[in-house]
Structure 1
Amino acid sequence: MTGASLLPIALMLAAQGQQTDTSAPPPPPEKMPDTAAEAPPPPETLEEPDTGLIEGRRRPGVTQRVLPDKVTADNPGAVRAPPPEAFPANQFPVPDRWRLIETLGLVKQDVLDPYHQSTYKGDRPLCLPTAEEQERREQAGLPKCRTPKFLGLDHEDWFFSINAASDTVVEPRSFPIPVGVQTTQRPDSNNVFGRPYSLVLSQTFIGGFSLTKGYTAFKPPEVEYRVSLAYNINYVRVPERRVLSVKPSKPPHRLDSFLGVQELFIDKHLRNTSDRYDFDSLRIGIQPFQSDFRGFLFNDQQLGIRLFGNRDNNRFQYNLAVFWRLEKDTNSGLNSVVQRPRNDLIFVANAYLQDMPVPSFTSQATVIYNMNREQDRIEVDDNGFPVRPALLGDLRGREYDVVYVGYNGDGHFGRLNLTVSAYGAFGQDRNSFFTSRKADIRAFFFAAEPSIDFDWIRVRLSGLYASGDRKPYNNVEGGFDAIFENPIFAGADTSYWIRQTIPFAGGGRAVAINGRNGVLADLRSSKEQGQSNFNNPGTVLLGAGADFDITPTTRLTLNANHLWFANTATLQALRVEGSIPKAIGYDLSAAATWRPKANQNLVFRLSGALLQPGDGFKDLFASSPRDHRFYSVLLNAILTY
């Protein structure tokens, strides 16, 4: 583009060099009109662009500096710059604007280098093996175009992108582990709980590709095909038997692997609705979806049909979707497409409005209907433990209809950042495992996380309330439960409570107090394979934390949370106890994240968390000594191409 822009000047200079008569002196330059005197003065309300300061704005914790007086240069003999019309760049077409920099020798493609432009990262369109293209490449001395013809690609602007990632987890941890019933790992293990220490090693390889037609920057693509597979291999070692397998003869360690389909969809652009490229699109297949800003209610990759788009220059966005839940592999949590999908449907309708109620804050209204029809179907996981129905109460199959009505907001009010989420769950459970009768579902949820930035430090507070069931034997279930939560809240997976699963020993078989990567105390058999349970004690959380961006590549995060059960009536009924305190305990965690390239290609994280049990936790999981602390250490390395 630079060479094309300088061509008129080069021609002018060449013409001047061919003149033969040099005796006459050049005419004096014409006097430029004094346009400064004719131009109207700028409005007083405009900010001087070169002062660098805006009235009333300052950096927190930094003294407002005083700039020196403005320096102006008065040079009446200077030559005014030529107008843009003197450089008619649009009259000089460029055959291939994507490969121009490589043609000029500025950038060379390297398939193994993720930091430079590459055809395989979607930076340049695919070449199509037409006769004209092959002839052009032969004349230019370029290799032949090898895009397969069976793909049936026509026209231009087809982009191909490969994505690959490696996720490594090393996780020493401790949590209350019950001893085996039929046999134990060690003789004389006559207590309810055994040794709490265990180790998890997990390696996941994710690979996929996308084929996209259309521009990839300023307007939505016309069509996209995407496939993403994940292969996981994991090793777990625990000190007790009948924890990893229902068979007591199995050893207390396990090596397992699984290949899951995490994405497999086609995204078709239906239409543009404005000159700002507001659009409507339809996506069909296995696709990621997050129902709110922090993943409290539904955050998963499921088989579905989704109609989405925007209006008013992207200020208004909407989603209309239906998802048919796939079965999950027990030990990896990946999608299993070789099993029959569940009789569980999710209908979603939500709308986002930016700058509501104030600029810089986005509001979302959502309605989600979960229709579960698994009453007559018994499901046993890969380790032999029943997951549907959960082994609680009368052990009978259940089905339910529940509608979630919610409001979510994310943004900031001035310097105060705020994320808020509120849901009400209403419906019917058939049947309650306490009464074997129909029960109405009426539960509530609220969470908020305000934060404020002080230069490179962000300080935040966290608060969460999920209602618990007060009367287990009536016809109302008041414990809030999500569909599939993956919350990014209160420390997320660096928190002990969110990271670890606590078995509900003595109150149910193969049932946990909470799920892995979940904040709710919902008494489910499995977050991945179990059903939602609205007979639960609920959760209350208050916490504080801080993020320290020490360098552009290093971040330190600290969190301290205090947790309670909202109501322990359900626990008392299942454990047949007269009273159980509400306090779960204090959850303290710290994490260090290092990104050596200051991007997401290499991310290393080391975190540690500690749970100081409260009276309620000690009552449920009494051990020797009763004030035993539980820990969780996580070493995570994510490499992305």
Structure 2
Amino acid sequence: MLTVVEVQSDWVGIAMDAAGERRGWIRQTWLADEGQWALQSLMGPGPALLAEDFTGVQASAIDLSRPASVQRLVTLPPADPRQIGGPELHLPRESIPLPDRWRLMQALGFKFPWYDPYHQNVYKGDIPWPNAPIDDLFVNIGVVSDNLFEHRSVPTPVAGGISLRPGALDIFGGRKQSVQVNTLLLSVSITKGNTTFKPPDWEFRISQALQYNRVSVQEAGALNIDPSTGSKRTDHFVGTQELYADYHLRNVSSRFDFDSLRVGVQPFISDFRGFIFNDLPAGIRLFGNRDNNQYQYNLGVFKRVQKDTNSGLNDLSRQLRNDDVWVANLYRQDFPIPGFTSQWTAIHNRNGENSPHYDNNGFLVRPAVLGDLRGHDYNVTYLGYSGDGHLGWLSDRWRLNLSTSTYWAVGRDSRSPLAQKPQTINAWFHATEVSRDFSWARARVHWMLTSGDKDPYDSRATGFDAIQENPQFAGADSSYFMRQGLPLIGGGGVTLSGRNGLIPSLRSSKDEGQSNFQNPGLSLLGTGLDIDVMPELRLLANVSHLRFNQTSVLSALRNEHIKSRDIGMDYSVGFQYRPYYNQQVILTGSLAVLKFGAGLFQLYGATQDRLHSLAFNALLAY
């Protein structure tokens, strides 16, 4: 029997005489298979001895090993564990060498098929590439199949007195349209560095999109400037969505605050919701963070890329657009209150596209078909503040979420197509969404205001327009007004708002046209509800009321007085289903109805009192 005098961590002091005045120290280990404590010493150089307390005098070792085990003894230095921690051994470790820390599970016998994306996979960047010429080289291969099927009703003009339907020689033709879009996105990312604890040293990424699309309408001339092409169109295109190199310049703190440089075709969103600039431009971007990620910043210079007309994909086979964007923004977390992130943004857009440009279907898109059709260029600067986060300081019970953006646009247009003279640009924008979570549901209230142009013939352009908007707001693409582009029939070759856009900017094309600061502006007020019925199923509903802020530009283009500003009510419902609780398979669907207000009745006639959109999307990702 041993008399335990003291315990320090996993070291046990034992009495070496009857009085307990002399002590020795041995290590204890837990024997899980026997459910008891056992005292065991460890192998070490020198004779098998136990060190006595304080004196440095060595006594014979006490063998405490089990008979069936190999004896493991050690010589311990004379130390007082009451002053310092238990003595640590500096002995060679009995271990099996591993290639790296990412293959720990494989060393224990866990092997996963190469095609399994749910476990460690060398093709998904979970494990370094085997036999790579450099250490810590990761390869991430992504495959996404995005499939859209849509049936919709959109006001469609009859082309020059030609109609495919007998007796339909009117201004407004058949409204029914159907769309099928299948996109396959292939991406490869090669990364050097530790992908877990610090930013990677460098990254190279390329993404190619292959798209097939088919559109069917009821009127000739709606899909191509040549009516003889009929009412159906099938097209395909291959676009380069990403092609960039990212280099880690430096770490600026022990917490891996960093500066990085990214060059090439890259995604960029200027704010939380994508109100001003949401695109895949070519450019140079310097970004990083400070103060343990409390501050983040972006400095970028971009040139916009030409788009394929029917797919909207980047077309690098053509020269880059003469449309430059300079961006500087700063993010501050937990400001002005904890849980809320603030962003300050300055964006300058210089557009010098004053020569005619036709899209792939033969329609003139620059300049827009309105006014005197003379080319122009413009310079505009956006100054804005955005915020996103929680307002828990109001009350623990009423913990609200807030997302808000406010912008002021100021600049100069070289020549207005309506006023036929230079104009100064002075416009504003505001959007806010307030929401509250109720366990499995989120209730939302949202509003949006953009300034409109009161007088299209003066020297001031006061209608707000973005560079390339794609906002996640007010129901996003489940909303009819945002999802569909309504053509301003009889008012030029422009649309009220572009596809996946809210601002009624009267552009010829959101992807290929120029910004237009002579527009009616918008007032939007609505509410929405998101319900998580099950972990894999979410239901969505949104209702919004829309109004023009001004109608003088519409009156000038239509050559008639548009009395009412009421656009109408936008109703939409939708669902999102993830059968495997992840992002590998996502099924979404939506039904939206736009019920006309008095303003749209004047624009499109009393025969069209409502429009609808029914869409289904299947996204499969590897």
TM range (shorter): 0.7 to 0.9
Give the one of 66, 74, 79 matched to 1:17: 66
Q: Is 1:214 aligned to residue 198 of structure 2? A: no
- 1:117-132 → structure 2 map (5 Å cutoff): 117-128=120-131
Unaligned runs of 5+ in 2: 1-28, 33-37, 43-62, 70-80, 393-398
Q: Tell me what 1:450 maps to.
A: 434
Change (3 A) 1:369 1:88: farther
Checking the alignment, whether the CA contact within 8 Å between 2:162 and 2:169 is kept in structure 1 is no
How many angstroms does 1:85 deviate by? 6.9
- 1:336-375 → structure 2 map (5 Å cutoff): 336-375=315-354
* Aligned partner of residue 373 in structure 2, secondary structure: coil
Q: Tell me what 2:547 maps to.
A: 564
Q: Tell me what 1:606 maps to.
A: 589
What letter is aligned with 2:616?
Answer: L
Give the one of 191, 203, 207 matched to 2:182: 203
What letter is aligned with 1:629?
Answer: R
Q: Distance in 1 between matches of 2:459 and 2:452?
A: 14
Q: Distance in 1 between matches of 2:287 and 2:87?
A: 41
Give the one of 147, 155, 171 matched to 1:192: 171
Give the one of 87, 105, 110 matched to 2:113: 110
Checking the alignment, whether the CA contact within 8 Å between 2:349 and 2:381 is kept in structure 1 is yes
Q: Is 1:380 aligned to residue 358 of structure 2? A: yes
Q: Distance in 2 between matches of 1:489 and 1:105?
A: 48
How many angstroms does 1:127 deviate by? 2.0
Write out per-residue CA displacement over residues 275-327 of structure 1, whole angstroms, 9 at most, x where no aligned residue.
00000000000000000000000011110100000000000000000001110
Q: Distance in 1 between matches of 2:499 and 2:39?
A: 69
* Aligned partner of residue 335 in structure 1, secondary structure: coil
How many angstroms does 1:87 deviate by? 12
* Aligned partner of residue 593 in structure 2, secondary structure: strand
What letter is aligned with 1:311?
Answer: R
- 1:524-543 → structure 2 map (5 Å cutoff): 524-543=507-526
Q: Tell me what 2:604 maps to.
A: 621
Checking the alignment, whether the CA contact within 8 Å between 1:198 and 1:236 is kept in structure 2 is yes
Q: Which moved more, 1:162-171 or 1:95-104?
A: 95-104
How many angstroms does 1:109 deviate by? 2.5
Checking the alignment, whether the CA contact within 8 Å between 1:220 and 1:269 is kept in structure 2 is yes
Q: Distance in 1 between matches of 2:97 and 2:156?
A: 68
Give the one of 220, 225, 235 matched to 1:256: 235
Checking the alignment, whether the CA contact within 8 Å between 2:521 and 2:549 is kept in structure 1 is yes
Q: Distance in 2 between matches of 1:244 and 1:84?
A: 82
- 1:542-557 → structure 2 map (5 Å cutoff): 542-557=525-540
* Aligned partner of residue 599 in structure 2, secondary structure: helix
What letter is aligned with 2:167?
Answer: D
Checking the alignment, whether the CA contact within 8 Å between 1:406 and 1:423 is kept in structure 2 is yes
- 1:330-479 → structure 2 map (5 Å cutoff): 330-375=309-354, 377-414=355-392, 415-479=399-463
User: When you count helix as a share of all residues, which structure comes out higher?
Assistant: 1
Q: Distance in 2 between matches of 1:169 and 1:308?
A: 35
* Aligned partner of residue 523 in structure 1, secondary structure: coil
Checking the alignment, whether the CA contact within 8 Å between 1:193 and 1:623 is kept in structure 2 is no
What letter is aligned with 1:494?
Answer: S
Write out per-residue CA displacement over residues 347-403 of structure 1, whole angstroms, 9 at most, x where no aligned residue.
00000000110000000000000000111x211000000000001001000100000
Q: How many residues get paired?
A: 549
What letter is aligned with 1:280?
Answer: D
Q: Is 1:301 aligned to residue 243 of structure 2? A: no
Checking the alignment, whether the CA contact within 8 Å between 1:322 and 1:346 is kept in structure 2 is yes
Q: Tell me what 1:573 maps to.
A: 556
Checking the alignment, whether the CA contact within 8 Å between 1:215 and 1:221 is kept in structure 2 is yes
How many angstroms does 1:187 deviate by? 2.1
Q: Distance in 2 between matches of 1:549 and 1:476?
A: 48
* Aligned partner of residue 481 in structure 2, secondary structure: helix
Q: Distance in 1 between matches of 2:304 and 2:560?
A: 37
What letter is aligned with 2:137?
Answer: W
* Aligned partner of residue 299 in structure 2, secondary structure: strand
Give the one of 624, 632, 640 matched to 2:613: 632
Change (3 A) 1:98 1:570: same
Write out per-residue CA displacement over residues 612-633 of structure 1, whole angstroms, 9 at most, x where no aligned residue.
0100011101142x5x321001
Q: Which moved more, 1:87-96 or 1:463-472?
A: 87-96
Checking the alignment, whether the CA contact within 8 Å between 1:478 and 1:534 is kept in structure 2 is yes
How many angstroms does 1:84 deviate by? 12
Superposition misfits of 4+ residues, deviation over 6 angstroms: 5-11, 82-91
Larger Rg: 2
Q: Is 1:273 aligned to residue 257 of structure 2? A: no
Unaligned runs of 5+ in 1: 21-32, 36-81, 129-146, 148-152
Checking the alignment, whether the CA contact within 8 Å between 2:161 and 2:170 is kept in structure 1 is no
Q: Distance in 2 between matches of 1:275 and 1:212?
A: 22
Checking the alignment, whether the CA contact within 8 Å between 1:120 and 1:161 is kept in structure 2 is yes
What letter is aligned with 2:486?
Answer: I
Give the one of 233, 251, 257 matched to 2:212: 233
Q: Distance in 2 between matches of 1:332 and 1:191?
A: 30
What letter is aligned with 2:618?
Answer: A
How many angstroms does 1:95 deviate by? 1.8
What letter is aligned with 1:420?
Answer: T
Write out per-residue CA displacement over residues 171-200 of structure 1, whole angstroms, 9 at most, x where no aligned residue.
000011111115211122122111111100
What letter is aligned with 1:540?
Answer: S
Give the one of 101, 105, 110 matched to 2:105: 101
Q: Distance in 1 between matches of 2:39 and 2:302?
A: 63
How many angstroms does 1:104 deviate by? 2.0
Q: Distance in 1 between matches of 2:273 and 2:40?
A: 60
Instruction: Give the alignment's TM-score, normalised by structure 1.
Output: 0.83
How many angstroms does 1:251 deviate by? 1.1
Q: Is 1:501 aligned to residue 485 of structure 2? A: yes
Q: Distance in 1 between matches of 2:482 and 2:473?
A: 9
Q: Distance in 1 between matches of 2:103 and 2:64?
A: 33
Q: Distance in 2 between matches of 1:90 and 1:478?
A: 74
Q: Tell me what 1:291 maps to.
A: 270
What letter is aligned with 1:442?
Answer: N
What letter is aligned with 2:411?
Answer: G
Write out per-residue CA displacement over residues 100-150 of structure 1, whole angstroms, 9 at most, x where no aligned residue.
2123222x222222111100000000122xxxxxxxxxxxxxxxxxx5xxx
Change (3 A) 1:620 1:85: farther
Q: Distance in 2 between matches of 1:613 and 1:391?
A: 25
Q: Is 1:167 aligned to residue 125 of structure 2? A: no
Change (3 A) 1:582 1:95: same
What letter is aligned with 1:534?
Answer: F
Q: Distance in 1 between matches of 2:145 and 2:178?
A: 20
RMSD, aligned CA: 2.4
Change (3 A) 1:118 1:90: farther
What letter is aligned with 2:423?
Answer: A
Q: Distance in 2 between matches of 1:224 and 1:313?
A: 23
What letter is aligned with 2:594?
Answer: L
Write out per-residue CA displacement over residues 448-472 of structure 1, whole angstroms, 9 at most, x where no aligned residue.
0000011111000010001100011
Give the one of 561, 574, 577 matched to 1:591: 574
Q: Which moved more, 1:92-101 or 1:557-566?
A: 92-101
Q: Tell me what 1:242 maps to.
A: 221
What letter is aligned with 1:468?
Answer: G
Q: Tell me what 1:484 maps to.
A: 468
* Aligned partner of residue 208 in structure 2, secondary structure: strand
Instruction: Give the alignment's TM-score, normalised by structure 2.
Output: 0.85
